[in-house]
Structure 1
């Protein structure tokens, strides 16, 4: 992939990321209006849980919008490696939002369990939840497409939350039907279960964000493939000290090539470029830095080194 192709890929990914944040905000705002009306009519704690969750969705999506816009800005003198980690910061902020919503829903669920209240207009809530399920499925389909092309941490965190929303919406429908048929305690119990599910999602999102902020290595499968690509270049004796990390839309890889010591500087540089381009062709989002280590005949005959 040449420079023009890489720029075209970057432009397409930026457009997809922005569209994903706009779609997420639009869906969240529409569902807030519907759920607020249904909760006002029914008084259901599980509907309140879903309403609060949608409010958190809207807040998290706004954070994503700002963070992704910043993450997509080019590298500058103060940020030589770009601004990609803003996406991970957005994911970490989302986890805090989601955890706060889980605590609020848990408190309401316990209160309604201790002081049962009748649920009114249950079928209105059921209708709203069905609409919510359809809207969420459509959004998740688009988010899956964006994640497949961009690998965005922020969008992945958003999608994780919306996937938990599907289970939440189904459980709310069950709770409302049970409450309608004389089991009001089911609404509170489902609200508490939803709160625990939301809290678990917050932990997952926060963990993934922290891994990126702490420069965790890329997946083993990616590392093994990068090493295999480098070792497959004719003239390369071996590869070691592969280091990788992720920052927004970009991956960073550093590796040491073991090359014949008698090579000229020009030839060694050419081999290094062949390795770099071989990896970039497979992983166009990678920024690859290659260091060349001269190896003489006695050393080359020894067992290859590990990465």
Structure 2
């Protein structure tokens, strides 16, 4: 909700900067802020849905809703970039002089500082909360900051030199940069929708925890992991002596599950217990 509010405030400030200058580059910057507001609304919806408890129709929860938010945001970024390229082309064909460029630069600079602080906060929160929606929103706003800095530098140079073509050129560069960012947002989200595994270091740590707490088992093999927003799913087969009681095998499973959940937030663990006839001697060694 704060992201939507800040997006609206920044949009108003950047629109004022465009209004006082008539700069197509500042117009493109303001247009991207419209995307920020819409993306914030979509992210708010996605985060709200992702916290909905599991139900009969969605027994594994709703955490993947955040990936849809990130995909929508990437698509919006691409649309904004195409609109900016259109405006830049028309401004290139008909160059226009800038009015009060320094005032516009100052106004836009204030909006850029607000965006910088908020982008850093969102990226940090997205990483800590393992939220694809917050991370995508933060990366998008940080891309907005980078392009705004470029726009301001280009406008300052245009006002000093009188090269009016720098205005549409900077707008075009803004479009190219946010197209690149949109591509990154979409591809990262698609990886999550395709059940991407934990990153190698995290998966290796999970395997180590399994090994440390599987005393009494003979072997663990076929370890699989997948990430679904904040949730992490871990499943594997555990081989125990054929004559071990169900209760004893269950105690081993509890130890492993407790260890994994203590270190991996929102982890769901599924263990398939097998008799020693299924041993493969290729799995996780038992400490």
**Match in the other structure for 1:119:** 98
Please, what is the CA RMSD of the aligned residues?
1.7
**Match in the other structure for 2:261:** 280
134-143 or 160-169, larger mean C-alpha shift: 134-143
Shift of 1:306: 6.7
> Is residue 109–residue 188 contact of structure 1 (8 Å, CA) maintained in 2?
yes
Quick check: 1:196 aligned with 2:188? no
Q: SS of 1:118's equivalent?
A: coil
Q: SS of 2:165's equivalent?
A: helix
251-260 or 271-280, larger mean C-alpha shift: 251-260
Q: Deviations over 1:233-284 (max 9, x none)?
A: 2223332212222223211111111223331111111111111111111102
Q: Deviations over 1:14-48 (max 9, x none)?
A: xxxxxxxx221111101111111221221111101
Shift of 1:129: 2.2
What runs of 5+ residues in structure 2 fail to find an aligned partner?
none
What runs of 5+ residues in structure 1 fail to find an aligned partner?
1-21
Partner Cα distance (1:144, 1:206) in 2: 16
**Match in the other structure for 1:226:** 206
Quick check: 1:291 aligned with 2:272? yes
> Is residue 231–residue 237 contact of structure 1 (8 Å, CA) maintained in 2?
no
**Match in the other structure for 1:187:** 167
> Is residue 230–residue 236 contact of structure 1 (8 Å, CA) maintained in 2?
no
Quick check: 1:71 aligned with 2:50? yes
Q: How many residues align?
A: 283
Quick check: 1:267 aligned with 2:248? yes
Partner Cα distance (1:73, 1:97) in 2: 25
- TM-score if structure 1 supplies the norm length? 0.87
**Match in the other structure for 1:156:** 135
- TM-score if structure 2 supplies the norm length? 0.93
Partner Cα distance (2:126, 2:241) in 1: 41
> Is residue 17–residue 108 contact of structure 2 (8 Å, CA) maintained in 1?
no
> Is residue 178–residue 184 contact of structure 1 (8 Å, CA) maintained in 2?
no
